[in-house]
Amino acid sequence: MEAPNNLILPALILIPFIAGFICWLVDKLDQHLPRYIALAGMLLTLVLTIVLWQNGSYQYALGGAAPSWAAEFRLPWIQTLGINIHLAVDGLSLLMVGLTALLGVLAVGCSWGEIQKNVGFFHLNLLWSLGGVIGVFLAIDLFLFFFFWEMMLVPIYFLIALWGHKGADGKSRVYAATKFFIYTQVAGLIMLIGILGLVIAGYTMTGQIAFDYNYLLKVANTIDAQVPGLAYALMICMFIGFAVKLPVFPLHGWLPDAHAQAPTAGSVDLAGILIKTAAYGLLRFVIPFFPAASAQFADIAIILGLIGIFYGAWCAFQQTDMKRLLAYTSISHMGFVLLAIYAGNILTFQGLMIMMLAHGLSSAALFIMCGQVYERLHTRDLRLMGGIRGQFPYLAFFLMFFVAALVGIPGLGNFIGEFLILMGSFNSFPVFTILAAISLVFAGLYGLILIHKALFGTPNEAQKEHYTNPLKDLGAREVVLLLLCAIGLLWLGLYPQSFLDVSNSSMAWLANSYIPVSEAVDVADQVATQLENVEIQ
């Protein structure tokens, strides 16, 4: 099954691109046709991911100089500069691609009734952003990786600028889109400096230019051991590139505005998938490339993560706009990502994988529900909502379920992820871990505030005209979308082993390549000794 698996990799990227282009071409024929084409494209992508899951082997021996891939696809591209179209998949990237494909289906489904103008061009941008994200997860040539990293930003800019909403604070969608684009572009350029610095260092060491992952991994490890100052500088460049997208405090300024003004599908894309590309980048590149420099930087990274956890929770308390509240909860939850990555053992890495999947599903579902509430009440202001529980029994049930998931109720995926992260990080960082655990109380509070303000109490005077006649509860399409997320969260919460098995070997290799913080003091000399005989090819 090797050859078919290899061909699936380019197909996973090309299908969203081709389907999006067809959506744009057929827009003039029939307004509904692009929706069906986009849905078919993302369903096919999801099916191919499941085929990869079934047929690929995600186990490999530890101790290797580089990860071994379950499937690879290589095609020469710019050979003078050592650039290839090199795609590969292991357990880490497979689960991320699967999440992207599933949330892509949900994004198409939730925009079915919301988007009424330029439907074809909307789906072109939506699917091209999803194709770019899948490219980020599969590309292991760093030039190709950077190409997809930058390419996925342009469609999201158009999604926010053309189909976004005006924010409650009066800020325009173009303002939010431009802010998002500037933040991510500047961060991307800083990351490019890190990548090019690594390539130039490799050229001075070996006399060849190449962007290949395995080659640059050896180069980076050698620099990490022998020139720690340079390694630290390159690591910081790459860290900043990923930290803005995550987002890490204080580089988070684009996220609340982008979420508040984005259409529902754009918010699903941003919260469910886009910020996961940053966590993936830290795991795939920063930690294995610069283990000693990362261990040195661990305290700073975790402190930034903890500030983000409490800052995000505090800002969530202050919000009256439902979408902005959820945007700040994402900032809060992403603080756990930094704790998991820089604690650097198999438990925290595995917890991070479950948390990324669960947060993707729960936050996507909640943003879909924001869109559903807005369609019915024509507001996202929590001060105008009270008492909608009696009007919408299905909507009220799902809102309570997904808020419970977001705050980490046992039995759902978020709890498993947070529990593993806290358990794995306690030995290395007991004080930081206790502070992170305390923050979970704040998560419960803003979850209860959201439910209380939206569902209970009496309707606001300004909204009473909407309640004179019974409003429509969730339709079949909306219930199916939310059920898919609910089933996924229950699966992650009750039987996480099926996902942990897939990612285990990838995470074990990462944990094995990361130098524990306790041993980071004299690590440069130790690694230099190990790498004296490594030939860089």
pLDDT tens-place string over residues 201-228:
888 888 888 888 888 888 888 888 888 8
Q: Identify the pLDDT of residue 145.
A: 93
| Domain span including residue 32 | 2-531
Q: Which CA distances in Å does 56 have to 135, 138, 353?
A: 19, 15, 19
Q: Which of 1-10, 145-154, 303-312 has the lowest mean pLDDT?
A: 1-10
Closest CA to 301 of 248, 234, 373: 248
Report how far residue 197's alpha carbon sits from residue 241's, in angstroms, rounded to the nearest whole number.
14
pLDDT surpassing 70 at residue 397? yes
Average pLDDT of span 496-500:
88
Closest CA to 24 of 34, 16, 32: 34
Report how far residue 315's alpha carbon sits from residue 331's, in angstroms, rounded to the nearest whole number.
10
Q: Identify the pLDDT of residue 524.
A: 40
Is the backbone peptide bond immediately before 247 cis, with ω within 30 degrees of 0? yes
pLDDT tens-place string over residues 92-141:
899 999 999 999 999 888 888 777 778 888 889 999 999 999 999 999 99
Q: Identify the pLDDT of residue 358.
A: 92
Torsions phi, psi for 65 (to 5 deg): -70, -25
Report how far residue 358's alpha carbon sits from residue 414's, in angstroms, rounded to the nearest whole number.
5
pLDDT surpassing 50 at residue 190? yes
Q: Which of 240-244, 373-377, 409-413, 523-527 has the lowest mean pLDDT?
A: 523-527
Report how far residue 274's alpha carbon sits from residue 268's, in angstroms, rounded to the nearest whole number.
9
The count of domains in the chain is 1
Write out the two tokens for 409: 């109720």
Alpha helices (H) along 227-286: 228-245, 254-261, 264-267, 275-281
pLDDT surpassing 70 at residue 465? no
Average pLDDT of span 439-453:
81
Q: Identify the pLDDT of residue 1.
A: 39
pLDDT surpassing 60 at residue 313? yes
pLDDT surpassing 90 at residue 269? no
Closest CA to 250 of 188, 311, 329: 311
Is residue 234 included in any domain, yes or no?
A: yes
Average pLDDT of span 330-355:
88
Range picked from 189-203, 324-338, 465-479, 508-522 for highest mean pLDDT: 189-203
Q: Identify the pLDDT of residue 321.
A: 82
Q: Identify the pLDDT of residue 15.
A: 92
Q: Identify the pLDDT of residue 459.
A: 66
Is residue 536 included in any domain, yes or no?
A: no
Is residue 537 included in any domain, yes or no?
A: no
Q: Identify the pLDDT of residue 380.
A: 77
Torsions phi, psi for 112 (to 5 deg): -55, -50
